[in-house]
A and B are shown apart, each in its own frame.
Chain A
Amino acid sequence: MALITSVGLACPLGLGREAALAAWRDGSSGLTDNDRWPTDGFPRADAGLVQGFNPRKQLPDRKAVKLMSREAQLGVFAVVEAAGGTDVCARAGIAPERFGAFAAAGYEVSALRDHEEMLAQSRSDDDPGKLDINRLFSTGRDAYNPLAPLRILPNMALFHAGVTLGLQGPHLSLGSSPAAGLVALGEAAEAIDGGDADAALVLGTDAQVEEFRSQMLVEAGILPTLAAGEAGAALVLEPDDADDDDPVGVLAWCAAQEPTRTGYADPADDGATRSRLYGHVLVLAGGPVDACLGDLWGDPARDRAEINGLPTRAELLASRPRTGWLGAASGILDAALAVEEVKAGRYDRVLVTAAGIAGDLAAVVIGRSGATRG
């Protein structure tokens, strides 16, 4: 069993592990008024914002901040906290090439702030609603922030995490799906158990609070049921011979595809696929769980398929109504909360689930050892 030996969080519940877990325990919500832009006409006026985050003051390399998207900034905060600093390889006595990194991350899809000036300088004189290619390649290019392309490359959160901690081991960079975060966690556990790495960082990071993305989230069926949110969540995994006096780890994981054509709005089989997946992962984990941190939104119609799929005797917990939709960060945040629940002694084993817009599903059982992963 790969152990989860450390956690780092920058999420709407709080900046930093202790603040976030305290807010989780006391039941408070991370949703606040969205002060990023005037929200008149937008589906929700609130959002899951990370409060008090100042990347220039709180990240180890101030100069690198301008190269980072919001996703990367939140991710680096989380990984540095999880690793206990930037010198984790030396402190842990692990060779950099044996320390892997597995990430699911959103990327700066629109980079509106970066593109505004370039597009303005590329307008056609004849029709300001049209672009002039020659102007795009001349005055538009001159107005384009040369750092912008580096911020929008989709594996940049992984890159910045790896550079910050000096990790040179195996890697995996997955897309902006809640389920992808749990797959990254599962594959990291496989890498540890299979001997490909002596430690692994797992990162889920995303920043969905942006006016342009609001349009996307409406089309995906997320807004207005859930608010948009942002978070970075990181875990450190080590082999079960690690020096941990309260070992909690990944007991089992699985992934599957749900039949769906219209994303979140229409789970086509009303939970049958989820039921099979969650049942299978419990078999792999060697038995039932006490609690489920499920892909629950607090909306009965939307949650029907998930509730139909989850084990009936387990207590149901949900973070999304208190954080908003966190994209790639959702699964890892919930995994971190599950570790907290087990370490606090409230449950022995917790099933964490996540679903992506395309119907991709993943499930992980987190708990104390006593059963092995399949």
Chain B
Amino acid sequence: MDRREVWITGVGIVCAHGDDVATVAEAQREGRSGAVALADSFDTTHFDVLAACRVPDADPAIADLKADFGLRAARAAISDAFGEDAIDCRPDLVGVHLASGLVSTPVTEAEDELLASMDAEGRYQHAAAAARLADPSPWRARHFTDRVNRTLTTDYGIRGPSLVNHGACAASAVAIGLGARWIERGTSDVVLAGGYESMIHPFGVLSFGMLGALSERQDCSPAEVSRPFDATRDGFVIGEGGAVLVLEDARRARARGARCWGRVLGMGTSMDAYRVTAPAPDGHGAVAAMRQALSKAGLGPDEIDYINAHGTGTPLNDATETAAVKQVFGGKGEAPPMSSSKSALGHSVAAAGAVEAVLCLLAMRDGVIPPTLNLTHPDPDCDLDCVPLEAREAELTHVVSNSFGFGGVNCSLALGATP
């Protein structure tokens, strides 16, 4: 059977710029940062991290914020694609592939669930745990990370495959790429694909802080902390949010007169097989992912108009990614413009790949390359055209979005503009 064409017919996004596509596009065009003070969320007197990219209307009273983001994004995407809160497709031909990270643990739940089962010395008390067996616990239930899938499949009557992807920072890009393959090979006609994440709580930032991944810059405003490709970069700013795309068989989408946001043309995945928190210095994994995505898309390097970089702002990632892009696309003057959306929205971990896929669609639709904010002192090792400070108008037909994760998992998506 011929490979079917995959259209993106619905988009939902929740990020530090908000949950309205028009607002997100405007912020991207204007080069606004979504960063705020982390101290607005909790006391950081003893924690040397200044900034976070919070969803503006995130309600801290919602214990499972990440699921809230995922459900909001999915419902918005469904509504966008079908014009109503329902999916117009045979239920068994609708699939769900969403990415999620670690379970969020608000402090109050840590107190209720963990401290309550410990003795004065902090030792876990089996009898106390046994006594709590019959008590329902939303937090414990969340450890089965399928709540969003379960809710969506129930609410919308979905009967096709349903997966939770745990591929770290590359997870939601993989979810989109694999979801597209389900359509290409006829497993599904419609797939909800994307991811959601919220780690902006004390235990979340503590974990990333101990991995040495977060910027500890204090000598600037929160909006100036995230500095991908800059010589002064020292880590990423934690973000949160969710993004879901409705992927659809193009023939079916055309027949029902659906709007096309763009096309998924190809995905490449690879593993570094190197270290947990550091990319392989020669960038072989990133190179393989980008080349495979181009190959699947049937495109040459010179046909790519823009690269949305993984661009975390960690010293190792940005230099390695630059070197990898050069191997695939050539050096300065040959490689297409590349920018990092994490300079504005931070790193939303499992959601990042899907959020950035949406930003790529907006870039192609509007003909605007989003800028890399705070890139005032370019690192000589990051010497490609990284679109510093201001957005740039350009006609974009084909773009590549990179997502590279802890554990050396890499994913590149090749996306195409509306035909």
Contacts and interface: CB of A to CB of B under 8 A. Distances in A.
Contacts of B147: 358
A222 to B, nearest CB: 10
Contacts of A120: 118, 121-122
Contacts of B143: 109-110, 213, 216
A257 B96 contact: yes
Interface stretch (B101-109, B241-249, B306-314, B325-333): B101-109
Interface string B130-146: 11111011001101111
A176 B165 contact: no
Interface in B262-303: 269-274, 276-277, 284-285, 288, 292
Given A154-B102, A175-B146, A256 B269 contact: no
A155 B407 contact: yes
A162 B133 contact: no
Interface in A113-155: 115-117, 119-121, 123, 128-131, 133-134, 136-138, 141, 144, 146, 148-150, 152-155
A273 B122 contact: no
Contact of B122 (A109, A121, A276): A121
A162 B111 contact: no
Question: In which size bucket is the chain A interface?
Answer: 35 or more
Given A41-B130, A168-B273, A256 B154 contact: no
A360 B163 contact: yes
Nearest to A184: B163
Interface string A27-63: 0000000000111111100000000000000000000
Q: Is the interface of A mostly helix, strand, loop or mixed?
A: mixed
A243 B340 CA distance: 47
B62 interface: no
A220 interface: yes
B127 interface: yes
B270 A171 contact: yes
Contacts of A180: 163-164
Interface in B76-125: 92, 96, 100-103, 107, 110-111, 114-116, 118, 120-124
B168 A153 contact: yes
Contact of B43 (A110, A123, A133): A133
A119 B118 contact: yes
A24 interface: no
- With most chain B CB atoms within 10 A of its CB, the pick from A116, A258, A273 is A116
A137 B46 contact: yes
Question: In which size bucket is the chain B interface?
Answer: 35 or more
Given A215-B132, A257-B153, A257-B162, A152 B102 contact: yes
Contact of A154 (B101, B130, B133, B202): B101
Given A101-B271, A171-B271, A129 B115 contact: yes
A255 B161 contact: yes
A105 B166 contact: yes
A162 B114 contact: no
A100 B207 CA distance: 29
A264 to B, nearest CB: 11
B171 interface: yes
A89 B313 CA distance: 34
A97 interface: yes
Interface in A307-366: 356-360, 362
Nearest to B171: A173
B270 A170 contact: yes
B56 interface: no
B163 A174 contact: yes
Nearest to A212: B129
A40 B130 CA distance: 8
Contacts of A39: 126
Contacts of A69: none
A168 B269 CA distance: 9
A359 B160 CA distance: 11
Nearest to B157: A259
Contacts of A173: 165-168, 171, 174, 409
Contacts of B409: 155, 158-159, 171, 173
Contact of B124 (A96, A112, A171): A112
B273 A214 contact: no
B31 interface: no
B404 to A, nearest CB: 12
Contact of B406 (A107, A141, A153, A276): A153
B141 A358 contact: no
- With most chain B CB atoms within 10 A of its CB, the pick from A121, A166, A258, A259 is A259
A156 B168 CA distance: 9
A88 to B, nearest CB: 12
Interface in B366-419: 405-409
Contacts of A119: 110, 114-115, 118, 122
Contacts of B276: 67, 150, 153, 156, 159
A146 B47 CA distance: 16
Interface string A211-236: 11111101110000000000000000
A118 to B, nearest CB: 8
Contacts of B270: 97, 168-171
Given A173-B165, A257-B160, A358-B162, 8 more contacts: A105-B166, A134-B43, A137-B47, A172-B269, A183-B163, A259-B159, A358-B149, A358-B153
9 contacts: A146-B210, A163-B273, A168-B272, A171-B174, A173-B174, A175-B165, A180-B164, A220-B144, A358-B147
Interface of A: 37-43, 67, 96-97, 101, 105, 107, 109-110, 112, 115-117, 119-121, 123, 128-131, 133-134, 136-138, 141, 144, 146, 148-150, 152-156, 158-159, 162-163, 165-177, 180, 183, 187, 190, 196, 211-216, 218-220, 255-261, 273, 276, 356-360, 362
The 9 A-B residue pairs with the shortest CB-CB distance, nearest first, are A120-B122, A41-B130, A159-B407, A255-B161, A154-B166, A358-B146, A175-B164, A137-B46, A358-B150
